[in-house]
Amino acid sequence: MPSGSEAVRLTEVSRQSGIHFRHEVDIGQFLAGRDDGHLTKWFESISASVSVVDINGDGWPDIFFPSQKPSAKSRLYINNRDGTFREAAEEYGLADLDGPTRVAFFDCDNSGKPAALVFNHQSAVLYTRGSRGKYRVHQILDTGSGEFTGGVNVLDLNGDGLLDVVVADSGLADLPNSMVDSDGGKSVEAFRGVGGCHFVRDDSILPANKPSHTHAIGVGDLRGRARQDLWIASDFGDDKVFLDEGGKYRDGSDRIGRTLSNTGMTAEIAHLEPFKNPVVFVGHAYQPGYFVGGNALWTYENGRFIDAARRLGVDRCGWTWGAKFADLNNDGLLDLVSINGFISRTSSGAPEGYWFKFATIVSGPRFLSGQSSEWPPFLAQSRFTEPQRGCVFMNTGSGFVDVAEQIDFDPHRHEGRGLAVIDFMNDGRLGLVAANQDQPPDLYRNDTPRRGGWIGFKLVGIKSNRDAIGAAVSLTLDDGRVLRRDNYPFNGYASQSDERIHFGLGRRRPTKVSIRWPSGIQESFAAPAPGRYYTVVEGHGPTKEAR
Protein backbone atom coordinates (compact mmCIF):
# COMPACT_ATOMS: atom_id res chain seq x y z
CA MET A 1 0.00 0.00 0.00
CA PRO A 2 1.59 3.29 -0.98
CA SER A 3 2.28 5.61 1.87
CA GLY A 4 4.91 8.01 3.08
CA SER A 5 7.02 10.54 1.34
CA GLU A 6 7.64 8.43 -1.75
CA ALA A 7 3.95 8.36 -2.42
CA VAL A 8 3.02 12.03 -2.33
CA ARG A 9 4.40 15.15 -3.91
CA LEU A 10 2.98 18.61 -3.24
CA THR A 11 4.43 21.51 -5.20
CA GLU A 12 3.84 25.11 -4.15
CA VAL A 13 2.82 26.90 -7.35
CA SER A 14 0.93 30.00 -6.28
CA ARG A 15 2.98 32.55 -8.21
CA GLN A 16 3.48 30.50 -11.32
CA SER A 17 -0.28 29.91 -11.29
CA GLY A 18 -0.92 33.62 -11.41
CA ILE A 19 -1.88 34.14 -7.77
CA HIS A 20 -0.30 37.36 -6.54
CA PHE A 21 -2.50 38.05 -3.57
CA ARG A 22 -1.20 39.08 -0.17
CA HIS A 23 -3.36 39.08 2.92
CA GLU A 24 -3.30 42.43 4.69
CA VAL A 25 -4.50 43.54 8.09
CA ASP A 26 -5.66 46.77 9.65
CA ILE A 27 -8.02 46.82 12.59
CA GLY A 28 -7.38 50.32 13.81
CA GLN A 29 -11.00 51.26 13.28
CA PHE A 30 -12.18 48.46 15.55
CA LEU A 31 -9.82 49.20 18.39
CA ALA A 32 -10.68 52.89 18.51
CA GLY A 33 -7.58 53.99 20.33
CA ARG A 34 -7.40 50.97 22.60
CA ASP A 35 -4.47 49.44 20.81
CA ASP A 36 -1.59 49.00 23.19
CA GLY A 37 0.35 46.70 20.92
CA HIS A 38 -1.07 43.49 22.30
CA LEU A 39 -4.58 43.85 21.03
CA THR A 40 -3.61 43.99 17.39
CA LYS A 41 -1.27 41.12 17.84
CA TRP A 42 -3.92 38.97 19.37
CA PHE A 43 -7.12 40.01 17.69
CA GLU A 44 -5.89 40.25 14.19
CA SER A 45 -4.21 36.93 14.01
CA ILE A 46 -7.23 35.06 12.76
CA SER A 47 -8.55 36.65 9.60
CA ALA A 48 -6.70 34.86 6.79
CA SER A 49 -9.21 32.56 5.15
CA VAL A 50 -9.83 31.01 1.77
CA SER A 51 -12.90 29.85 -0.13
CA VAL A 52 -12.94 27.37 -2.97
CA VAL A 53 -16.03 27.77 -5.13
CA ASP A 54 -16.98 27.10 -8.71
CA ILE A 55 -18.29 30.60 -9.06
CA ASN A 56 -18.95 30.49 -12.78
CA GLY A 57 -20.32 26.95 -12.84
CA ASP A 58 -17.86 25.67 -15.41
CA GLY A 59 -16.89 22.62 -13.39
CA TRP A 60 -13.47 24.00 -12.47
CA PRO A 61 -12.97 25.24 -8.92
CA ASP A 62 -12.04 28.88 -8.38
CA ILE A 63 -10.43 30.52 -5.35
CA PHE A 64 -11.37 33.55 -3.28
CA PHE A 65 -9.07 35.27 -0.80
CA PRO A 66 -10.48 37.99 1.46
CA SER A 67 -8.13 40.67 2.76
CA GLN A 68 -9.06 42.08 6.11
CA LYS A 69 -7.53 45.51 5.56
CA PRO A 70 -10.54 47.58 4.49
CA SER A 71 -8.60 49.54 1.90
CA ALA A 72 -7.03 46.42 0.41
CA LYS A 73 -8.60 44.40 -2.36
CA SER A 74 -9.89 40.91 -1.91
CA ARG A 75 -9.12 38.61 -4.79
CA LEU A 76 -11.09 36.10 -6.83
CA TYR A 77 -9.06 33.76 -8.99
CA ILE A 78 -10.90 32.10 -11.85
CA ASN A 79 -9.55 28.74 -12.93
CA ASN A 80 -8.13 28.86 -16.47
CA ARG A 81 -8.35 25.05 -16.69
CA ASP A 82 -4.63 24.74 -17.33
CA GLY A 83 -3.23 25.13 -13.85
CA THR A 84 -3.29 28.91 -13.94
CA PHE A 85 -5.80 31.48 -12.74
CA ARG A 86 -6.94 34.93 -13.73
CA GLU A 87 -7.99 37.56 -11.21
CA ALA A 88 -11.62 38.67 -11.45
CA ALA A 89 -12.73 40.15 -8.14
CA GLU A 90 -13.68 43.50 -9.66
CA GLU A 91 -15.59 41.75 -12.40
CA TYR A 92 -17.71 39.96 -9.83
CA GLY A 93 -17.98 42.89 -7.44
CA LEU A 94 -16.03 41.07 -4.75
CA ALA A 95 -12.93 43.23 -4.52
CA ASP A 96 -14.15 45.74 -1.96
CA LEU A 97 -16.00 44.07 0.89
CA ASP A 98 -15.04 46.31 3.82
CA GLY A 99 -12.59 44.20 5.74
CA PRO A 100 -13.78 40.65 5.09
CA THR A 101 -12.44 37.83 7.21
CA ARG A 102 -14.52 34.82 6.17
CA VAL A 103 -16.61 34.34 3.05
CA ALA A 104 -19.01 31.44 2.64
CA PHE A 105 -20.28 30.82 -0.88
CA PHE A 106 -23.45 28.77 -1.02
CA ASP A 107 -26.71 28.47 -2.90
CA CYS A 108 -29.15 30.10 -0.52
CA ASP A 109 -32.16 30.01 -2.85
CA ASN A 110 -31.39 26.90 -4.88
CA SER A 111 -30.98 29.01 -7.99
CA GLY A 112 -27.66 27.60 -9.07
CA LYS A 113 -25.88 30.87 -8.32
CA PRO A 114 -23.84 30.91 -5.14
CA ALA A 115 -24.42 33.79 -2.78
CA ALA A 116 -21.57 35.13 -0.68
CA LEU A 117 -21.98 35.48 3.05
CA VAL A 118 -19.25 37.88 4.04
CA PHE A 119 -18.11 38.25 7.62
CA ASN A 120 -15.96 41.03 8.84
CA HIS A 121 -15.05 41.56 12.45
CA GLN A 122 -18.25 43.37 13.24
CA SER A 123 -21.02 42.10 10.99
CA ALA A 124 -22.19 39.53 8.49
CA VAL A 125 -23.48 40.65 5.11
CA LEU A 126 -25.09 38.44 2.49
CA TYR A 127 -24.30 39.31 -1.11
CA THR A 128 -26.20 37.84 -4.05
CA ARG A 129 -25.55 38.04 -7.77
CA GLY A 130 -27.27 40.87 -9.57
CA SER A 131 -28.50 40.84 -13.13
CA ARG A 132 -25.09 41.94 -14.42
CA GLY A 133 -23.36 39.17 -12.57
CA LYS A 134 -21.91 41.37 -9.86
CA TYR A 135 -22.43 40.69 -6.22
CA ARG A 136 -24.43 43.23 -4.27
CA VAL A 137 -25.69 43.53 -0.72
CA HIS A 138 -28.80 41.46 -0.12
CA GLN A 139 -29.16 41.28 3.66
CA ILE A 140 -27.26 42.23 6.78
CA LEU A 141 -27.54 39.49 9.34
CA ASP A 142 -28.26 40.42 12.91
CA THR A 143 -25.22 38.94 14.58
CA GLY A 144 -25.47 41.24 17.57
CA SER A 145 -22.37 43.21 18.31
CA GLY A 146 -20.17 40.89 16.27
CA GLU A 147 -16.84 40.41 17.90
CA PHE A 148 -14.11 39.13 15.65
CA THR A 149 -15.07 36.41 13.30
CA GLY A 150 -14.63 32.89 14.51
CA GLY A 151 -16.42 29.74 13.41
CA VAL A 152 -18.85 29.63 10.51
CA ASN A 153 -20.64 26.70 8.94
CA VAL A 154 -23.51 26.23 6.54
CA LEU A 155 -25.95 23.33 6.59
CA ASP A 156 -29.62 22.54 6.43
CA LEU A 157 -30.38 22.42 10.14
CA ASN A 158 -34.08 21.66 9.90
CA GLY A 159 -34.28 19.63 6.71
CA ASP A 160 -36.48 22.09 4.84
CA GLY A 161 -34.25 22.17 1.78
CA LEU A 162 -32.92 25.60 2.56
CA LEU A 163 -29.46 26.16 3.89
CA ASP A 164 -28.99 27.67 7.33
CA VAL A 165 -25.97 29.25 8.97
CA VAL A 166 -24.33 28.66 12.34
CA VAL A 167 -21.84 31.22 13.51
CA ALA A 168 -19.84 31.87 16.64
CA ASP A 169 -17.58 34.83 16.84
CA SER A 170 -14.33 34.45 18.67
CA GLY A 171 -15.41 37.31 20.89
CA LEU A 172 -11.95 38.68 21.28
CA ALA A 173 -13.03 42.26 21.82
CA ASP A 174 -11.57 41.83 25.27
CA LEU A 175 -8.69 39.54 25.96
CA PRO A 176 -9.50 36.09 27.31
CA ASN A 177 -8.98 36.18 31.05
CA SER A 178 -8.12 32.53 31.50
CA MET A 179 -6.34 29.93 29.44
CA VAL A 180 -8.89 27.23 30.23
CA ASP A 181 -12.03 28.95 31.48
CA SER A 182 -12.36 32.42 30.03
CA ASP A 183 -15.47 34.42 30.80
CA GLY A 184 -15.46 36.12 27.42
CA GLY A 185 -16.47 35.21 23.91
CA LYS A 186 -19.76 34.81 22.14
CA SER A 187 -22.45 32.16 22.07
CA VAL A 188 -23.09 30.03 19.02
CA GLU A 189 -26.00 31.36 17.02
CA ALA A 190 -28.18 29.88 14.29
CA PHE A 191 -29.66 31.73 11.34
CA ARG A 192 -32.45 29.94 9.55
CA GLY A 193 -32.94 30.31 5.83
CA VAL A 194 -36.53 31.28 5.11
CA GLY A 195 -36.37 31.47 1.32
CA GLY A 196 -35.40 34.16 -1.10
CA CYS A 197 -31.96 34.22 0.45
CA HIS A 198 -33.23 35.72 3.66
CA PHE A 199 -32.16 34.58 7.07
CA VAL A 200 -33.67 35.06 10.48
CA ARG A 201 -31.95 34.44 13.75
CA ASP A 202 -33.53 31.44 15.47
CA ASP A 203 -32.54 30.86 19.07
CA SER A 204 -34.80 27.83 19.39
CA ILE A 205 -32.59 25.52 17.33
CA LEU A 206 -29.42 25.43 19.37
CA PRO A 207 -29.24 24.99 23.12
CA ALA A 208 -28.46 27.95 25.31
CA ASN A 209 -24.71 27.96 25.47
CA LYS A 210 -22.05 29.72 27.44
CA PRO A 211 -20.07 32.25 25.43
CA SER A 212 -16.76 30.99 24.17
CA HIS A 213 -13.87 32.12 21.99
CA THR A 214 -14.88 29.94 19.09
CA HIS A 215 -12.57 29.39 16.15
CA ALA A 216 -14.36 26.70 14.19
CA ILE A 217 -17.62 24.82 13.90
CA GLY A 218 -17.54 21.34 12.42
CA VAL A 219 -20.55 19.38 11.23
CA GLY A 220 -20.73 15.62 11.06
CA ASP A 221 -22.71 12.50 11.78
CA LEU A 222 -20.63 12.05 14.88
CA ARG A 223 -22.70 9.28 16.47
CA GLY A 224 -23.56 7.38 13.31
CA ARG A 225 -27.26 8.18 13.54
CA ALA A 226 -27.71 10.02 10.27
CA ARG A 227 -27.76 13.29 12.17
CA GLN A 228 -25.80 16.51 11.85
CA ASP A 229 -24.01 17.02 15.14
CA LEU A 230 -21.98 20.18 15.68
CA TRP A 231 -18.51 20.37 17.17
CA ILE A 232 -17.60 23.79 18.52
CA ALA A 233 -13.83 24.27 18.74
CA SER A 234 -12.98 27.08 21.10
CA ASP A 235 -9.84 28.54 22.53
CA PHE A 236 -9.45 29.53 26.20
CA GLY A 237 -12.33 27.26 27.21
CA ASP A 238 -13.76 23.85 26.64
CA ASP A 239 -14.94 22.63 23.27
CA LYS A 240 -18.64 21.98 22.99
CA VAL A 241 -20.66 19.42 21.09
CA PHE A 242 -24.29 19.96 20.16
CA LEU A 243 -26.15 16.77 19.40
CA ASP A 244 -28.77 16.79 16.70
CA GLU A 245 -32.06 15.42 17.97
CA GLY A 246 -33.99 15.87 14.76
CA GLY A 247 -33.62 19.53 13.96
CA LYS A 248 -33.29 20.56 17.60
CA TYR A 249 -29.99 20.39 19.35
CA ARG A 250 -28.98 19.61 22.88
CA ASP A 251 -25.68 20.18 24.59
CA GLY A 252 -23.70 16.95 24.74
CA SER A 253 -20.43 18.47 25.91
CA ASP A 254 -20.42 16.30 29.01
CA ARG A 255 -19.68 13.36 26.72
CA ILE A 256 -16.33 14.78 25.71
CA GLY A 257 -13.52 12.92 27.39
CA ARG A 258 -10.72 14.51 29.35
CA THR A 259 -7.45 15.56 27.76
CA LEU A 260 -5.05 18.45 27.91
CA SER A 261 -6.54 19.75 24.67
CA ASN A 262 -10.18 20.27 25.42
CA THR A 263 -9.80 23.51 23.51
CA GLY A 264 -8.72 24.12 19.96
CA MET A 265 -8.60 25.97 16.70
CA THR A 266 -9.90 23.52 14.11
CA ALA A 267 -12.89 21.23 13.69
CA GLU A 268 -12.20 18.94 10.75
CA ILE A 269 -14.39 15.87 10.46
CA ALA A 270 -14.10 12.75 8.35
CA HIS A 271 -14.84 9.05 8.23
CA LEU A 272 -11.59 7.38 9.07
CA GLU A 273 -11.05 3.66 9.04
CA PRO A 274 -11.26 1.68 11.25
CA PHE A 275 -13.45 3.93 13.36
CA LYS A 276 -17.15 3.23 13.25
CA ASN A 277 -18.10 6.89 13.47
CA PRO A 278 -16.52 10.00 11.99
CA VAL A 279 -13.57 11.49 13.81
CA VAL A 280 -13.16 15.13 14.77
CA PHE A 281 -9.68 16.55 14.42
CA VAL A 282 -9.22 19.56 16.67
CA GLY A 283 -6.00 21.48 16.14
CA HIS A 284 -4.15 22.85 19.11
CA ALA A 285 -0.78 24.31 19.99
CA TYR A 286 2.07 21.97 20.81
CA GLN A 287 5.12 23.65 22.25
CA PRO A 288 7.62 21.68 24.34
CA GLY A 289 7.94 23.14 27.79
CA TYR A 290 4.65 25.00 27.61
CA PHE A 291 1.83 23.16 25.83
CA VAL A 292 2.32 19.42 25.60
CA GLY A 293 -1.22 18.31 24.88
CA GLY A 294 -1.21 18.97 21.14
CA ASN A 295 -3.97 18.08 18.74
CA ALA A 296 -6.99 15.96 19.59
CA LEU A 297 -8.74 13.40 17.41
CA TRP A 298 -12.13 12.65 18.88
CA THR A 299 -14.09 9.54 18.13
CA TYR A 300 -17.43 8.55 19.58
CA GLU A 301 -17.26 5.19 21.31
CA ASN A 302 -19.66 3.76 23.87
CA GLY A 303 -21.41 7.03 24.43
CA ARG A 304 -18.24 9.08 24.93
CA PHE A 305 -15.91 11.10 22.76
CA ILE A 306 -12.44 9.63 23.17
CA ASP A 307 -9.19 11.26 22.07
CA ALA A 308 -7.19 9.02 19.73
CA ALA A 309 -4.69 11.59 18.45
CA ARG A 310 -1.68 10.23 20.26
CA ARG A 311 -2.52 6.65 19.38
CA LEU A 312 -2.64 7.53 15.69
CA GLY A 313 0.36 9.85 15.78
CA VAL A 314 -1.29 13.16 14.88
CA ASP A 315 -1.05 14.88 18.25
CA ARG A 316 2.15 16.84 17.71
CA CYS A 317 2.50 19.45 15.03
CA GLY A 318 3.40 22.85 16.44
CA TRP A 319 0.59 25.35 16.52
CA THR A 320 -2.05 23.85 14.27
CA TRP A 321 -4.65 26.04 12.62
CA GLY A 322 -6.15 24.88 9.33
CA ALA A 323 -6.37 21.13 8.82
CA LYS A 324 -8.02 18.94 6.20
CA PHE A 325 -8.44 15.27 5.58
CA ALA A 326 -7.79 14.31 1.97
CA ASP A 327 -6.62 11.21 0.16
CA LEU A 328 -3.47 12.74 -1.27
CA ASN A 329 -2.09 9.60 -2.90
CA ASN A 330 -5.41 8.00 -3.87
CA ASP A 331 -4.69 4.87 -1.90
CA GLY A 332 -8.16 4.78 -0.38
CA LEU A 333 -6.95 6.09 2.97
CA LEU A 334 -7.58 9.62 4.13
CA ASP A 335 -4.44 11.57 4.93
CA LEU A 336 -4.34 14.66 7.12
CA VAL A 337 -2.65 17.97 6.36
CA SER A 338 -2.31 20.83 8.80
CA ILE A 339 -0.75 24.24 8.48
CA ASN A 340 0.85 26.01 11.36
CA GLY A 341 1.62 29.47 12.45
CA PHE A 342 2.13 31.53 15.55
CA ILE A 343 0.52 34.84 16.19
CA SER A 344 3.77 36.75 16.23
CA ARG A 345 3.06 39.36 13.57
CA THR A 346 6.60 40.36 14.29
CA SER A 347 9.66 39.96 12.13
CA SER A 348 11.85 36.97 12.71
CA GLY A 349 14.54 39.36 13.86
CA ALA A 350 12.59 40.17 17.01
CA PRO A 351 13.66 38.42 20.20
CA GLU A 352 11.93 35.28 21.34
CA GLY A 353 10.40 35.19 24.76
CA TYR A 354 6.71 35.47 24.13
CA TRP A 355 6.04 32.03 25.56
CA PHE A 356 7.72 32.75 28.87
CA LYS A 357 6.18 36.18 29.31
CA PHE A 358 2.79 34.96 28.26
CA ALA A 359 2.95 31.99 30.61
CA THR A 360 3.86 34.37 33.42
CA ILE A 361 0.90 36.59 32.70
CA VAL A 362 -1.66 33.82 32.57
CA SER A 363 -0.32 32.36 35.80
CA GLY A 364 -1.94 35.22 37.65
CA PRO A 365 -5.56 35.87 38.43
CA ARG A 366 -8.01 36.47 35.63
CA PHE A 367 -8.59 40.10 36.53
CA LEU A 368 -4.96 40.73 35.63
CA SER A 369 -4.41 38.35 32.73
CA GLY A 370 -7.49 39.71 30.99
CA GLN A 371 -6.15 43.27 31.00
CA SER A 372 -3.55 43.86 28.33
CA SER A 373 -2.72 47.20 29.92
CA GLU A 374 -1.09 45.16 32.67
CA TRP A 375 1.05 43.28 30.18
CA PRO A 376 4.66 44.27 29.66
CA PRO A 377 5.05 46.69 26.78
CA PHE A 378 7.97 44.79 25.29
CA LEU A 379 5.87 41.68 24.93
CA ALA A 380 4.23 43.03 21.81
CA GLN A 381 7.62 43.18 20.13
CA SER A 382 8.46 39.61 21.05
CA ARG A 383 7.80 36.59 18.93
CA PHE A 384 6.90 33.10 19.94
CA THR A 385 9.54 31.17 18.05
CA GLU A 386 10.88 30.53 14.60
CA PRO A 387 8.29 29.94 11.86
CA GLN A 388 7.05 26.38 11.80
CA ARG A 389 6.46 23.88 9.06
CA GLY A 390 3.04 22.35 8.70
CA CYS A 391 2.43 18.63 8.82
CA VAL A 392 1.51 16.10 6.16
CA PHE A 393 0.30 13.06 8.04
CA MET A 394 0.18 10.15 5.61
CA ASN A 395 -2.21 7.40 6.55
CA THR A 396 -0.45 4.04 6.66
CA GLY A 397 -3.56 2.10 7.52
CA SER A 398 -2.56 1.66 11.14
CA GLY A 399 -1.64 5.22 11.96
CA PHE A 400 -0.12 8.36 10.50
CA VAL A 401 3.41 9.36 9.59
CA ASP A 402 4.38 13.00 9.13
CA VAL A 403 6.30 13.39 5.87
CA ALA A 404 6.25 17.19 5.65
CA GLU A 405 9.98 17.55 5.99
CA GLN A 406 10.78 14.85 3.48
CA ILE A 407 8.59 16.41 0.82
CA ASP A 408 9.49 20.01 1.79
CA PHE A 409 5.91 20.94 2.49
CA ASP A 410 5.32 24.57 3.46
CA PRO A 411 8.65 25.76 2.04
CA HIS A 412 8.07 29.41 3.01
CA ARG A 413 7.13 28.64 6.64
CA HIS A 414 4.18 30.95 6.37
CA GLU A 415 1.85 31.71 9.26
CA GLY A 416 -0.90 29.42 8.06
CA ARG A 417 -4.53 29.81 8.96
CA GLY A 418 -7.30 28.62 6.61
CA LEU A 419 -6.64 25.47 4.60
CA ALA A 420 -8.89 24.16 1.82
CA VAL A 421 -8.84 21.14 -0.45
CA ILE A 422 -9.00 21.86 -4.18
CA ASP A 423 -8.58 19.71 -7.25
CA PHE A 424 -7.81 22.67 -9.47
CA MET A 425 -6.34 20.47 -12.19
CA ASN A 426 -9.48 18.29 -12.24
CA ASP A 427 -7.27 15.23 -12.46
CA GLY A 428 -8.31 13.51 -9.28
CA ARG A 429 -5.14 14.46 -7.44
CA LEU A 430 -6.19 16.68 -4.59
CA GLY A 431 -4.33 19.93 -4.14
CA LEU A 432 -4.45 22.36 -1.28
CA VAL A 433 -4.69 26.09 -0.85
CA ALA A 434 -3.52 27.79 2.33
CA ALA A 435 -4.40 31.30 3.48
CA ASN A 436 -1.57 32.84 5.46
CA GLN A 437 -1.87 35.65 7.97
CA ASP A 438 -0.46 38.91 6.67
CA GLN A 439 1.37 36.97 3.98
CA PRO A 440 0.84 35.56 0.48
CA PRO A 441 -1.10 32.30 0.19
CA ASP A 442 0.25 28.93 -0.80
CA LEU A 443 -1.23 26.83 -3.59
CA TYR A 444 -0.13 23.23 -3.62
CA ARG A 445 -0.40 21.25 -6.81
CA ASN A 446 -0.51 17.53 -6.24
CA ASP A 447 2.20 16.03 -8.41
CA THR A 448 2.00 12.62 -6.86
CA PRO A 449 2.70 9.96 -9.46
CA ARG A 450 -0.46 8.14 -10.33
CA ARG A 451 -0.51 5.19 -7.97
CA GLY A 452 -4.16 4.63 -7.26
CA GLY A 453 -7.44 5.11 -9.05
CA TRP A 454 -10.05 7.64 -8.08
CA ILE A 455 -13.60 8.69 -8.72
CA GLY A 456 -15.48 11.87 -7.84
CA PHE A 457 -19.01 13.18 -7.67
CA LYS A 458 -20.59 16.59 -7.83
CA LEU A 459 -23.93 16.39 -6.10
CA VAL A 460 -26.93 18.49 -7.07
CA GLY A 461 -29.88 18.51 -4.72
CA ILE A 462 -33.45 18.80 -5.93
CA LYS A 463 -35.59 18.24 -2.87
CA SER A 464 -32.49 18.82 -0.80
CA ASN A 465 -30.53 22.04 -0.85
CA ARG A 466 -28.98 22.40 -4.28
CA ASP A 467 -25.43 22.28 -2.92
CA ALA A 468 -26.29 18.93 -1.33
CA ILE A 469 -24.55 20.03 1.83
CA GLY A 470 -25.08 17.24 4.32
CA ALA A 471 -25.20 14.47 1.74
CA ALA A 472 -23.49 11.22 2.72
CA VAL A 473 -21.87 9.18 -0.03
CA SER A 474 -20.78 5.59 0.42
CA LEU A 475 -18.65 3.81 -2.15
CA THR A 476 -18.39 0.04 -2.12
CA LEU A 477 -15.17 -1.44 -3.51
CA ASP A 478 -14.69 -4.81 -5.10
CA ASP A 479 -13.00 -6.10 -1.96
CA GLY A 480 -16.07 -5.29 0.11
CA ARG A 481 -14.66 -2.18 1.76
CA VAL A 482 -17.05 0.72 2.02
CA LEU A 483 -15.61 4.22 1.91
CA ARG A 484 -17.68 7.13 3.14
CA ARG A 485 -17.51 10.85 2.54
CA ASP A 486 -19.92 13.51 3.81
CA ASN A 487 -20.40 16.81 2.07
CA TYR A 488 -19.55 19.55 4.55
CA PRO A 489 -17.19 21.90 2.71
CA PHE A 490 -17.05 24.45 5.52
CA ASN A 491 -15.49 22.12 8.09
CA GLY A 492 -11.93 22.75 9.18
CA TYR A 493 -10.74 26.25 9.98
CA ALA A 494 -11.45 29.48 8.11
CA SER A 495 -11.99 27.74 4.81
CA GLN A 496 -14.39 26.41 2.24
CA SER A 497 -13.17 23.40 0.33
CA ASP A 498 -13.92 21.93 -3.08
CA GLU A 499 -17.48 20.72 -2.70
CA ARG A 500 -17.00 17.66 -4.87
CA ILE A 501 -16.87 14.28 -3.23
CA HIS A 502 -13.59 12.51 -3.93
CA PHE A 503 -12.57 8.90 -3.35
CA GLY A 504 -9.12 7.45 -3.79
CA LEU A 505 -9.37 3.81 -4.77
CA GLY A 506 -5.91 2.33 -4.57
CA ARG A 507 -5.88 -0.72 -6.83
CA ARG A 508 -9.53 -1.50 -6.21
CA ARG A 509 -12.51 -0.91 -8.40
CA PRO A 510 -15.71 0.67 -7.19
CA THR A 511 -18.84 -1.42 -7.51
CA LYS A 512 -21.65 0.55 -5.95
CA VAL A 513 -22.48 4.10 -4.96
CA SER A 514 -25.01 4.89 -2.25
CA ILE A 515 -26.11 8.40 -1.43
CA ARG A 516 -28.17 9.59 1.48
CA TRP A 517 -29.38 13.03 0.54
CA PRO A 518 -30.12 15.72 3.11
CA SER A 519 -33.81 15.35 2.25
CA GLY A 520 -33.67 11.76 3.49
CA ILE A 521 -33.89 10.28 -0.01
CA GLN A 522 -31.56 7.32 -0.43
CA GLU A 523 -30.39 6.10 -3.77
CA SER A 524 -27.90 3.57 -5.00
CA PHE A 525 -26.47 2.82 -8.38
CA ALA A 526 -23.72 0.82 -9.95
CA ALA A 527 -20.46 2.68 -9.77
CA PRO A 528 -19.46 4.24 -13.09
CA ALA A 529 -15.96 3.93 -14.48
CA PRO A 530 -13.33 5.52 -12.24
CA GLY A 531 -10.98 8.32 -13.21
CA ARG A 532 -13.62 11.02 -13.62
CA TYR A 533 -15.95 13.35 -11.79
CA TYR A 534 -19.65 12.66 -12.29
CA THR A 535 -22.56 14.94 -11.65
CA VAL A 536 -25.30 13.24 -9.65
CA VAL A 537 -28.70 14.89 -9.51
CA GLU A 538 -30.82 13.88 -6.55
CA GLY A 539 -32.99 10.92 -7.46
CA HIS A 540 -31.59 10.58 -10.96
CA GLY A 541 -28.22 8.89 -10.49
CA PRO A 542 -25.13 9.97 -12.39
CA THR A 543 -26.62 11.92 -15.27
CA LYS A 544 -23.50 13.14 -16.94
CA GLU A 545 -19.80 13.45 -16.52
CA ALA A 546 -18.66 16.63 -14.91
CA ARG A 547 -15.83 16.83 -17.39
Per CB under 8 A, residues contacting other proteins are 177-181, 237-238, 256, 258-262, 288-294, 310, 315-316, 353, 356-357, 359-370, 373-378
Whichever of 185 and 332 has its CB closer to other proteins, that residue is: 185
Please calculate the CA angle 487-500-420 and round it to the nearest 5 degrees.
80
Q: Are 97 and 119 in contact (CB under 8 A)?
A: no
Q: How far is the CB of 311 from other proteins (least distance, A)?
A: 11
Whichever of 201 and 357 has its CB closer to other proteins, that residue is: 357
Whichever of 98 and 181 has its CB closer to other proteins, that residue is: 181
Residue count (the chain)? 547
Rounded to a whole number of angstroms, the CA Rg of the chain reads: 22
Whichever of 211 and 293 has its CB closer to other proteins, that residue is: 293
Q: How far is the CB of 402 from other proteins (least distance, A)?
A: 14
Q: How far is the CB of 231 from other proteins (least distance, A)?
A: 15
Please calculate the CA angle 355-356-357 and round it to the nearest 5 degrees.
95
Whichever of 316 and 451 has its CB closer to other proteins, that residue is: 316
Alpha-carbon distance of 423 to 535, in angstroms, equals 15
Q: How far is the CB of 144 from other proteins (least distance, A)?
A: 26
Q: How far is the CB of 301 from other proteins (least distance, A)?
A: 16
Whichever of 158 and 381 has its CB closer to other proteins, that residue is: 381
Whichever of 196 and 399 has its CB closer to other proteins, that residue is: 399
Alpha-carbon distance of 260 to 238, in angstroms, equals 10
Alpha-carbon distance of 164 to 104, in angstroms, equals 12
Q: Are 409 and 389 in contact (CB under 8 A)?
A: yes
Whichever of 102 and 215 has its CB closer to other proteins, that residue is: 215
Whichever of 293 and 542 has its CB closer to other proteins, that residue is: 293
The three-class DSSP label of residue 330 is coil
Q: Are 141 and 108 in contact (CB under 8 A)?
A: no
- Strand ranges for 160-205 from DSSP E: 164-168, 189-195, 198-201
Q: How far is the CB of 483 from other proteins (least distance, A)?
A: 30
Cis amide prior to 530 (ω within 30 degrees): no
Strand partners, 500: none
Q: How far is the CB of 300 from other proteins (least distance, A)?
A: 18
| Burial tier of 210 (Cβ tally within 10 Å: 0-12, 13-18, 19+) | middle
Alpha-carbon distance of 112 to 462, in angstroms, equals 11
Q: How far is the CB of 507 from other proteins (least distance, A)?
A: 37
Alpha-carbon distance of 487 to 471, in angstroms, equals 5
- Say which residues have a Cβ less than 8 Å from residue 208's Cβ, sequence separation at least 6: 187
- Say which residues have a Cβ less than 8 Å from residue 40's Cβ, sequence separation at least 6: 25, 27, 31, 345
Q: How far is the CB of 240 from other proteins (least distance, A)?
A: 11
